[in-house]
Amino acid sequence: MNRLIQQGDNPLLTEERKKCTFDTDVLATIFHESEQTFRRRREIYDYFLRHKELHDPEPVEFMDRYQKLENAERKLLMFRKHTDIIIPNKDPDDVQTLTSFVFHSDGYPVRLHNIMGIPTILNNADDEQAAEWLPKAMNLEFISTYAQTELGHGTNLRKLETIATYDPKTEEFILDSPTVTATKWWPGNLAKVSNYIVVVARLLSNGKDHGPHPFFVQIRDPKTHESLPGVTVGDIGPKFFINTTDNGFLQFNKVRIPRRAMFMKNAKLLPDGTYVPPVHSKLAYGTMVYVRSVTVTIMARYLAQAATISTRYSAIRKQGEIEPGKGEVSVLEYQTQRYRIFPQIARAWAYEACGRYTKKLYMEFLQGINQGKADVLPDLHAISSVLKAVVTHQVCLGIEQCRMACGGHGYSTASGLPQLFSLAVGGCTYEGENMVLLLQCARYLVKCAAAVRLNKKPSRVSPIAEYLFSNDSSKKCRI
Amino acid sequence: MNRLIQQGDNPLLTEERKKCTFDTDVLATIFHESEQTFRRRREIYDYFLRHKELHDPEPVEFMDRYQKLENAERKLLMFRKHTDIIIPNKDPDDVQTLTSFVFHSDGYPVRLHNIMGIPTILNNADDEQAAEWLPKAMNLEFISTYAQTELGHGTNLRKLETIATYDPKTEEFILDSPTVTATKWWPGNLAKVSNYIVVVARLLSNGKDHGPHPFFVQIRDPKTHESLPGVTVGDIGPKFFINTTDNGFLQFNKVRIPRRAMFMKNAKLLPDGTYVPPVHSKLAYGTMVYVRSVTVTIMARYLAQAATISTRYSAIRKQGEIEPGKGEVSVLEYQTQRYRIFPQIARAWAYEACGRYTKKLYMEFLQGINQGKADVLPDLHAISSVLKAVVTHQVCLGIEQCRMACGGHGYSTASGLPQLFSLAVGGCTYEGENMVLLLQCARYLVKCAAAVRLNKKPSRVSPIAEYLFSNDSSKKCRI
């Protein structure tokens, strides 16, 4: 029932596949959540295979950073042309599918515009702002990115040093990077591509510090692409991976921007400098929960890819005899090899389920918010924090096991495994440093423990944590 | 007593260094094993710093593979010129010291010639062969590398597919790669640089297979650098790291080489095809032990470098407040940060000691061999196998902890940490795949256990394993 068997495959691989006891298409349907999604994915993949101009002229591992970026820019033009043909209704899932085939996981020139720029406009611009910015953004009349982390500040957001000081006389903000450590550092697609930026700066008005807020700022001339006066922007250099993405740095030297450059769907600043705080101050945490659930799912898939490569390789790699004189066997026959690889397959599925479950909880939370309830947020924050930390860490260890299980060939980029590791390992740091996230969950559990010890069950306990307060020891966590 | 304090350093770093309770030069002397070595190292380093033509024009991480190789070739010429000046007596340790400053750890064009080609001639050529080959090798009249691993065979050396069939009529060997999997794969400096090669092939003579033996073969024209007839040679492409080294592949199509191309210090083949086996058939294992002890030492130093970078960064990186309102603190103040980094410092020293101890045991073994005793070899093999496997694995985990402890900046190659990881992690595979080595040690221990259970103490027990057979439970392993 293995639907992957093809003529011309390595016979050892076919032999293994013949042993399959289930229909691989049924499993693929479960993975892609519906048969329609799965079929559509195959359709798009076949289309991609047939159109060479969507491919890389040579493996990107042979290119330097500038060639990688140029190649990605060329592919972006082809991508837009072919999207019109194969996805005329612009279905976002289908577009994402084609994106993953064309650009792999090393980034592309408008990635941050798509995943951070546009969503920030959607979630943070008021109606008037959205009416002005969104059509242009969708039409790529500008390319934007998102700048929060600074050279000196990542985890402790409240101490960001970039400031936006309001001047009520001219109704403008003065954006400034007062120190070297205030330099925005890391934004993807900033070094070479973007001409607009969502910048997070501490809002100062009437002598008061209102903390970090997002602003929408032009940084480059639309014609010459030169940086605008007062803006210093450049490249932060090569990284462990994701080198097709031009991560950059940015400094402002007292740059004046209009009052309406501040995103005003949530917090607002009136012309006289009066600050109006947002209604749902905790909504930002909700977004973090969502991003972490997505991270868990993405990580599960990296591990699944590594396990697939490693399992297939182990089927066709013969080395050593188990019974002397009987000939060499596939390394998959060795217990130690199985012990290395098979748990990674199981983990990939388990983490896939974790990602889906957290996303479901997030959707329930969103529904609750609409009814004015946000009390499940601490539980959701704790569970998504610990899952993100544990899954990213275990996935990286798992990919390394898969890589080492391929021996020397796992060290060659031809295996794809060094790239998967270097890609996944970034996840231990971004979207909340793992050690910090583990402590967030620990703090939540210690709070729960104190409440249990005092026999003080909170007035409303979320279904996630309910079992902790139950006298029935057979009751288990709902996850 | 910290001798590293300099004007202009980050004041936070100076503050930490002022707390030092010992003389850092004394520790450095212990590390470099003598004050003379340590002083000489500083001298060479200062010389290196003063001579810009020995430096990279830009960080190599910005170069593509071809630029890296060209830059290394340029530096090699400068290196030879400056070696004559600063190391006129060509002291090998001093040359190695300068090499490490000039070429870092990413390889250089004659690295394999130096560490494998020349030593193979020294250890495997008979007097006549050595008289012919060695002066030319030392004088770089040719550049050689070492080809053992094949596309299809690494661990199971006995099944190498490259064959050298002896033809007594012409007194020649016919070198052949009968299958695709017989292709030599991985030799460093093979793809572009080398024109000679030490190739390991199964020796067939008079219808008998005598197993793998080394041969010395010219593969490229000395003038045009084109590959010779019957030789196919090329590049295996980019790797996780060490991309300045041009790892290559090689196939022979029935290439005839003279009988005396076989290294004949140990095994010999007479003109009529009679095979004369080596006297010490286990000497090859001894070399493996040596290489593994060196690997342990090198790994210890990679971890020491990572721990140094990470500790210094943690001193100057401020993030978050421990007591609210008291200002941000160095991340080194956090327990979790210390727990991540400090054990790596301890491990680096422990592994440094392991490497030295194993090397000492190897030297004792060599002395024993000269007196006809090789019975310590199984113990030495077991201890060096398990140390190599455990140390490479733990060092990689440790480097990753150091890297992650630097947050986002640890993902940038500017930190040097991604490079250290990608470099060190090769050590889990080369010179004996870790899982295989762990099983080698396990097999040794199971044998010991069986002997203990039967109360059969071997006639001579090595000092390493003696405690296993002692009734005195307070007796400990000598290591």
**Beta-carbon contacts of residue A401 (< 8 Å; ≥ 6 apart):** A340, A341, A344
β-pairing, A231-235 with A248-252?
antiparallel
Rounded mean pLDDT, B150-175:
96
- What pairing do the DSSP bridges indicate for beta strands B196-205 and B208-218? antiparallel
How far apart CA A366 and CA B340 sit, in angstroms, is: 37
The larger pLDDT score, comparing residue A246 to residue A471, is at A246
Q: What integer pLDDT is reported at residue A478 of this predicted model?
A: 65
Say how far apart CA A263 and CA A213 lie, in whole Å. 8
**Mean per-residue pLDDT for B46-72?**
95
Using 50, 70 and 90 to split pLDDT, how confident is the model at B115? Answer: very high
Nearest to B328 by CA among A150, A289, A184, A438: A150
What does the H/E/C string look like for B303-332? HHHHHHHHHHHHHHCECCCCCCCCCCCEHH
Structure confidence by residue, pLDDT tens digits, B26-56: 999 999 999 999 999 999 999 999 999 999 9
Q: For the segment A196-224, what is each residue's pLDDT rounded down to a tens digit?
A: 999 999 999 999 999 999 999 999 999 99
- State yes or no: pLDDT of B63 exceeds 70: yes
The three-class DSSP label of residue B473 is coil
Q: Which among B63, B186, B412 has the least Cβ separation from residue A408?
A: B186
Interface touch A62/B156, C-beta < 8 Å? no
CB A76 within 8 A of CB A113: no
CA dihedral B354, B360, B365, B370 (to 10 degrees): 160
C-alpha span between B328 and B290 (Å, rounded): 49
Instruction: Quickly state the pLDDT bin for B283 (edges 50, 70, 90).
Output: low
In chain B, what are the domains?
Answer: 1-29 (no CATH), 33-108 (1.10.540.10), 140-276 (2.40.110.10), 283-469 (1.20.140.10)
Interface test with A, best of B310, B429, B430, B434 (most A CBs within 10 A): B429
Using 50, 70 and 90 to split pLDDT, how confident is the model at A417?
Answer: very high
Q: How far apart are CA A221 and CA A227, in angstroms?
A: 6
Percentage of residues in chain B with pLDDT exceeding 70? 98
The alpha-carbon gap from B173 to the nearest alpha carbon of chain A, in Å, equals 27
Strand A196-205 with A163-167, pairing: parallel
Cβ within 8 Å, pair B412-A149: no
The answer to whether the beta carbons of residues A203 and A120 sit under 8 Å apart is no
A448 touches chain B (CB under 8 A): no
Give the length of chain B.
479
Pick A240's closest partner by Cβ from B149, B336, B411: B411
Q: What is the pLDDT of residue B479?
A: 59
Task: Please give the sequence-ordered ranges of beta strands (E in DSSP) within B170-207, or none if there are none.
Answer: 172-176, 184-185, 196-205
pLDDT at residue A477 is higher than 90: no
For the record, the structure tokens of A254 come out as 């007292």
> What average pLDDT score do residues A264-268 get?
93
- Residue-wise pLDDT for B345-369, tens only, equals 999 999 999 999 999 988 888 888 7
Residue to test with chain A: of B412, B433, B439, most A Cβ within 10 A: B412
Give mean pLDDT, residues B319-342: 95
Is residue B250 pLDDT above 90, yes or no? yes
Identify each DSSP E strand in A340-431 by its residue range.
Answer: none
Q: Is the pLDDT of residue B148 over 70?
A: yes
pLDDT at A282: 65
User: Per-residue pLDDT averaged across A233-256, rounded?
Assistant: 97
| Distance from the first to the final alpha carbon of chain A | 32
CB contacts of A408 in chain B (<8 Å) are 149, 154, 185-186, 429-430
Q: What is the pLDDT of residue A368?
A: 81
To the nearest whole Å, the CA of A87 is away from the closest chain B CA by: 35
| Residue showing tokens 């490693």 | A310
Q: Which of residues 221-250 of B touch A (CB under 8 A)?
A: 236-240
Report yes or no: B153 at the A interface, CB cutoff 8 Å.
yes
Q: How many CB atoms lie within 10 A of CB B222?
A: 10
Nearest to B405 by CA among B315, B299, B300: B315
The shortest C-alpha distance from A251 to chain B (Å) reads 18
β-bridge partners, A173: A166, A257
CA distances B210 to B165, B178, B268, Å, are 10, 17, 11
Q: Is A15 one of the catalytic residues?
A: no
Mean pLDDT calculated for residue range A171-191:
98
